[in-house]
Structure 1
Amino acid sequence: MNNPNYQKTASFVESRFSDLLLSDDFALSRLGFNREELRQSSTRALLDIEAKAQEKKQKRQETEQEFKVYVSEYFHETLFEYLKQRVADPDYIFNELLNFEPELPKLFDACAAKASGVTHFEQIIANIPWLKSKFIETINNPPFREAKSIKPKVENLGLAIRYIGLDNTKLVVLSQAAQHWLPHSTEPYNTFKSRYWQYAIATANCSRQLAKYNGLNEVVAFFLGLFHAVGISIALRLYLRAFDTVRIAQMKDSLKTGRRDIEKVLNSLESDPIFISEALSKFSNLISYKVFEKLGLKYAVVAPYAEEIKDKLTFAQASPMTQVLMQARTFAQYKILQKARLIELDEAKVFLTNYKISNAIIGELNKVNLTNIKYTK
């Protein structure tokens, strides 16, 4: 049985990671830090800092500021209801937010199916023009080709697949499909895209390693790790897209009822990372599950694992593949938070222990490159 205190700490650390995805400064500010304070006091206990941050939060400015807070909270209640409706509509997600092609489920299944051969992959990739172009470009550059090589470049798709092998082909096309689903812009949270991608790659690589360690399908584990957090990316895009839609509608309603004071405050509102972080925590796992469910995969079946994450099963309750994902994402989050100096040693021990990450598991994960995919030679 999981320790409730461990679960609480793990949940808190995961929320902090969501903050960090948005920006370093936001994650630090939520802990009562600014960068200068961090330099001067890198060893202060986080629990003490958090307690003081709560005290500081309670001392809100009165009158105009309190009114703005009230309007913002009411606005976000409406915004979250709007988001809830959008999340319940997978067609909207696929048609409006993802660069989705009907051939992608075939590609994902081909990667997971043991019987898929070169001809099968060639046919699928050829039907996705951007992927064909990107794939050919990739295999003609390092690590598959020496930078200063004078050998003729490979232009034929079938020959390209044979050149790097099926195992590498699967890793390449999966990572390129995942990149294709990245948002073009998440302004003003401009560091989100790079950090999200760092997290996705780290989780995918760790999942692959742990699947091998546990005798599970490595490609399915890699796919699940790479795409498991797609809901985070979509939830952020949903919030940013819905923000002005809901705000403008509320401004019009306020003018109709003669509440120019409310309309004025609404007009001054900007996207709020506190509410965005809440939206990521509230909707991202549900969105990921709905995406996998909508894909209708036959061989790369990962929707049941995403459903277990959505339903917040404990590590002991989860299936082996979900346990692999839990440990992989936890280790990836830990390493990224550690690099940003946003996790204390005692917290890290609890965080890792909550997901049964033993010294043996750490030993396996320390073999993993967290930034780049390891291809077979």
Structure 2
Amino acid sequence: MTQDVSQQISTRFSRLLIGLDATRQDALEDKDVELPDFLDQDRDGRQLLRIEKQAQRDKKLNERYYQNFLEKLQTQLNDEVRVRLAEQLQDTEYLYSKLIGVPAQLPEVLDIMSVKAASIGRIEPLVATIPWLVNDLIKMVNMPKYRRTDKQGKVIPVESLRMALSFLGLENLKLVIPSLVFRRWLPQITDPYPNIKVRLWQHAMGSAQSCKKIAEINGQDTQAAFTLGMFHEVGMIAIIRLYFRLFEEVRRDALTEAHQAKMKEEHSALSDVVPSGIALQELIEQQASRISYVLMETMGFRRLMLAPAMQEVVESVPVKDMHSLAKVLMQGRGYNQYRMLKEARLINIDEAKLFLRNLVMPAGALSALKDTDLRHLNLTFDEN
């Protein structure tokens, strides 16, 4: 029963991330039910003429036919998308360097920060090779909430990478850099599901913060826990980016083919076909975790053991049998899923109890997490 609930919650959460309405009615539900006489009248109370009734029925039939036609075209497009997506998922170098765009020096930066001998001087030249990250760091520390002022109250602008790194400090950078990187990776075009980017960000940040808190309770490496929580859905990002990109590519090819074959009805209808949230959900559930593992392994961390932990997730090792970092990921990710579903009113008390029990949370974790802000980094600064 617990496993069944866990699977249900996982499926429900993926629907929430995409933005699928959990109460969506079947588009082909029966529309031929006879209506009461008082509903079969116009505004003046006049009985509709037989020809008007027939016109309304014809209109409904035409609408149903067109909807069925669109769904058929959508299915055909998605079948081709799956074929092309499967091919591209085999090209790890493309996924890593082009589609996601993992900065070449990123793994080394994160590795260096995990050792006791880490220093701003050691990571500065590496961070400097990532221009967008330099700009984001400087922009961040100049935001109103982080600005510093002199004794006269004048703002002290931060204009160099060294100043930005020194201002934040190593402990904050362990949180800031993975967060800025993940935000950079987020998909931009996901119509007609515009909230995917927002919910993916909430999922990553909430999972990372939950993992960090659980690692603190266990006396484990909080940087590794936070980074794994932040990066564990990089495979989902790859799937989402590929799906929307390939759907448009396949639709363009279909439009060209329909035009050349003078198939006017198909050509016109293809403009109304939209990406399928259900198809995307299936692809995510089938492929995302495996691609996350592949990409983490390609990152080649020498000190942060993220890939082995992600491998245990892919292999569906029971939580109680997982090694420490993989267990923290499952617990942190699961707790954040619970929080997001609870906020959306998509989980009841009985389901929550079973779901959380299956995570084998450490003693005191639920109480500590209940009071943890999962939406923000909550950076700490030396008063001096």
- Give me the TM-score of the superposition, normalised by structure 2: 0.81
Give 1:336 shift.
0.8
Give yes or no for contact 1:154–1:160 (8 Å, CA) kept in 2: yes
The aligned runs of 1:200-349 (5 Å cut-off) are 200-249=204-253, 268-349=272-353
Q: Greater CA deviation, 249-258 or 337-346?
A: 249-258
Residues 228/63 of structure 1: CA separation in 2 closer, same or farther (3 Å cut): same
**Is 1:111 matched with 2:110?**
no
Partners of 1:225 and 1:328 within 8 A in 2: yes
Question: Is the 2:148–2:156 Cα contact (8 Å) retained in structure 1?
Answer: no
- 1:267–1:361: structure 2 CA closer, same or farther, 3 Å change rule? same
Name the structure 1 match of 2:187.
183
Change in Cα spacing, 1:6 to 1:256, as seen in structure 2 (3 Å) is: farther
- 8 A contact 1:161–1:169 mirrored in 2: yes
For residues 75 and 144 of structure 1, the distance between their equivalents in structure 2, rounded to whole angstroms, comes to 48
More moved, 310-319 vs 284-293: 310-319
**Shift of residue 322, structure 1, vs aligned partner:** 0.8
Q: 1:143 and 1:113, CA in 2 relative to 1: closer, same or farther beyond 3 A?
A: farther
Deviation, structure 1 residue 14: 1.2
| Residue type of the alignment partner of 1:29 | T
Structure 1 residues 74 and 157, CA gap change in structure 2 (3 angstroms): closer
- How many residues align? The count is 348
Q: Which has the higher contact order (CA 8 A, sep 6+)?
A: 1
Aligned letter for 1:170? Answer: K
Q: Is the 8 A contact 2:149 2:156 kept in 1?
A: no
Q: Give the whole-Å Cα distance in 2 for the aligned partners of 1:246 and 1:164.
A: 46
Match of 1:20 among 16, 22, 38: 16
Bigger mean CA deviation after superposition, 91-100 or 261-270: 261-270
SS in 2 for 1:351: helix
Q: In 1, Cα distance between the equivalents of 2:263 and 2:142?
A: 62
Distance in 2, Cα, partners of 1:317 & 1:101: 34
Q: Residue by residue, what CA displacement relative to the aligned partner does 1:115-140 show, whole Å, maximum 9, x if unpaired? A: 22111121112222221222123223
Assess, with a 3 A threshold, how the Cα gap between structure 1 residues 58 and 106 changes in structure 2: closer, same or farther: same
Q: How far is the alpha carbon of 1:97 from its aligned partner?
A: 1.9
Return 109-118 or 318-327, whichever deviates more: 109-118
Structure whose alpha-carbon radius of gyration is higher: 2
Query: 1:76 aligns to what?
Result: 78
Q: CA deviation at 1:172?
A: 1.6
Structure 1 residues 351-360 or 326-335, which shifts more?
Answer: 351-360
- Separation in structure 2 between the aligned mates of residue 143 and residue 218 of structure 1, nearest angstrom: 25
- Please say if residues 187 and 240 of structure 2, whose CA atoms lie closer than 8 Å, have aligned partners that are also in contact: no
The secondary structure found in structure 1 opposite 2:236 is helix
**Aligned-pair distance for 1:260?**
7.8
- What is the RMSD computed on CA atoms of the aligned residues? 2.8
- In the TM superposition, residue 204 of structure 1 has moved relative to its aligned partner by 0.6
Structure 2 residues not aligned, in runs of 5+: 32-60
Asked whether 1:94 is paired with 2:90, we answer no
Distance 1:107 1:242 in 2: 33
TM-score by length of 1: 0.82
CA distance in 2, matches of 1:126, 1:303: 26
Residues 261 and 317 of structure 1, relative CA distance in 2, 3 Å threshold:
farther
Q: Which amino acid aligns with 1:14?
A: S
Greater shift, 236-245 or 132-141, is seen at 132-141
